């Protein structure tokens, strides 16, 4: 995820079914259908992602930090 964020992208749908392992058990992120470029200050908007993995601010309709939303979803997966 850090690589994506450094490239100015937010995945917007981090969930267990979008995380894969290769033959060496290296974690890979898949399904970039909802990915988007980060705006000014890393902000994005819209209600994308899967219920249960989305951060609370994604439901408000206001611009939010796409990086923090991705990390929230990753924390849900880890939990």
At residue 58's C-alpha, the angle toward residues 48 and 44, to 5°, is 75
DSSP state of 63: -
Q: Is 13 a catalytic residue?
A: yes
- Of 22, 3, 6, 12, nearest to 68 (Cα)? 12
**28-49 confidence digits (pLDDT tens):** 999 999 999 998 888 998 888 8
- Of 79, 49, 50, 15, nearest to 1 (Cα)? 15
CATH topology (fold) of 2-78 = Transferase(Phosphotransferase); domain 1 (1.10.510)
* Selected catalytic residue, list 13, 22, 65, 70: 13
pLDDT of residue 47: 84
Q: What is the mean pLDDT of each run of 10 residues along the chain (79 residues)?
A: 94 95 96 91 87 91 92 95
CB 79 within 8 A of CB 57: no
């Amino acid at each position: 995820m850090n690589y994506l964020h450094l490239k100015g992208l937010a995945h917007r749908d981090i969930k267990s079914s979008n995380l894969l392992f290769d033959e060496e058990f290296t974690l890979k992120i898949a399904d970039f259908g909802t990915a988007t470029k980060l705006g000014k200050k890393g902000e994005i908007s819209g209600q994308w992602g899967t219920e249960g993995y989305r951060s609370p601010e994604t439901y408000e309709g206001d611009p939010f930090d796409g990086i923090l939303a991705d990390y929230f979803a990753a924390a849900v997966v880890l939990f």
